[in-house]
Homo-oligomer: A and B are copies of this chain.
C-alpha cells in the first residue's frame, strides 16, 4: 500500500512537471511573435501572419494614417462657388519643381444642374472646366501657372469640358490624359472617354491629339459610358493606365477600376481581360511598390478604406485597413515612370475636398496629405492605429428625421 502511495505521488509529480510546461506553452505567448508561430491558431490569428505584411499595423509598410494641410497660393474667389479646383494629377518633380495639374472651373455661377446648364452655366462642378497647373518648391506653397489644356472647338473631344487629368513622362515627352466631355455632365450620368495631349516640357505648350485614346467599352460592357480618372504608370516597358468607370443604374452606381495597357502613349490601349481589377474606391491612386503596385481604395465599395497591393499589377489583395483617407488622392510618386522593379512608395500628395459651400457656393478645393507608405521612411506617428475624433465629429453623423421616426414607431411596438 505504501509502495503504491509513493508511486502515486511520484506519478502525479511527473504528470504535473510534464503538464505544467506543456500547459504554459499551450497558451498563446505574451509577446506577439513577429513570424508565424508553429501552432494551431484561430482563423483571425492565422490571417495576421498570412494576409498582411506584418502582424502589427505599426510594422506594415502599407499601413498609414493620413495628415492634412491647407495649401497656400490658390485663390477661390472668396469661396463663392465661381472658382473650383479638384481632381489633381500625380505630382511630377521636374527641374527642381513640383508640378500638379487639376480640373479648374471658373464660371459666372456655381453649378446649376444639367437642366439649367447652357454654354456658360455649368451643370456640375466639373462642367465647363479646363486643365490648369501649378508649381511648388515645397509642396505646401503653390504658384498657379494658368491653363494647360483648353477646351477645343465643338465637336472635338472635350469641347464641353476637359477634366480629371493625369501626367505621364515617357521618353522625354510629357502626356496629359484627361476626361473629354461631349455634353454637359449629368444628362445621363457622367459620360466621357479619355483624350490626351502632349508636350516637350511640363510647362507646355500642349498639343492635343484630338482623338479618343481610351474609348468607352462596347454596348453592355461595364465601362460603356465612362472612362474616368486615367492614371498612367510605367511597368515592364509599357504604359499601364488604370481608370475608373461608373456602371449600373443612376442613383445606384457601382464604381470599379480597370487597366488598359499600351506600348505608345497615343495608343492603342488594350483593356485587360480581367477588368475590373479593383472593385472599390472612387478615384484611381496607385504607386509602384516593390515589384508590384499599391492602390489607395476609398469612399465606395466593399473594400473602401483599404490599401491594396498587387504583385502582378492585376490581382489586388488588401494590404491594410485604414481610415480618413484622402479623396482623389494624387501622390508624389518618384518612380511612377522609371519602370522600377523596386517601387519605394509614397509620403505625400494632393487630394481634394468636394461639395463645399452648399448649393449657393458649390465648389471644391485642393489639399495636401502626408502619409508613410514608403519603404524609405519610418514615421511612427503615421503608424498609429486610429484617428481619435472628438465627439462633435460623431454627433454630426446623427439620425435623420426619418430614422428617428422609424425608431419611435418600433419602440411603440416593442412596449
Contacts and interface: CB of A to CB of B under 8 A. Distances in A.
Interface stretch (A106-114, A116-124, A336-344, A388-396): A388-396
Contact of A355 (B29, B388, B394): B388
A155 interface: no
A315 B279 contact: no
Contacts of A308: 44
B393 A28 contact: no
Contacts of A397: 65-68, 324, 387
A31 interface: yes
Interface residues of A, number: 111
Contacts of A275: 27-28, 42
A302 B27 contact: no
A306 B277 contact: no
Secondary structure dominating the interface of A: loop
Interface in A360-415: 365, 367, 370, 379, 381-382, 385-391, 393-400, 402-403, 406-408, 411, 414-415
A218 interface: yes
A302 to B, nearest CB: 5
A17 interface: no
A11 interface: no
Contact of A385 (B304, B387, B398, B403): B304
A57 B391 contact: no
Contacts of A388: 355
Nearest to A272: B42
Copies in the complex: 2
A42 B308 CA distance: 13
Nearest to A252: B58
Interface stretch (A47-55, A125-133, A206-214, A231-239): A47-55
Contacts of A217: 27
Interface in A334-357: 348, 353, 355-356
Contact of A411 (B44, B138, B320): B138
Given A315-B44, A323-B323, A67 B403 contact: yes
Contacts of A278: 44
Contacts of A382: 403
Interface in A241-281: 247-249, 252, 254, 256, 271, 273-280
A350 to B, nearest CB: 13
A381 B410 CA distance: 17
A181 interface: no
Contacts of A324: 323, 389, 393-394, 397
Nearest to A386: B299
A218 B27 contact: yes
Top 8 A-B pairs, shortest CB-CB distance = A27-B221, A43-B315, A68-B394, A42-B274, A28-B222, A42-B277, A44-B316, A44-B279
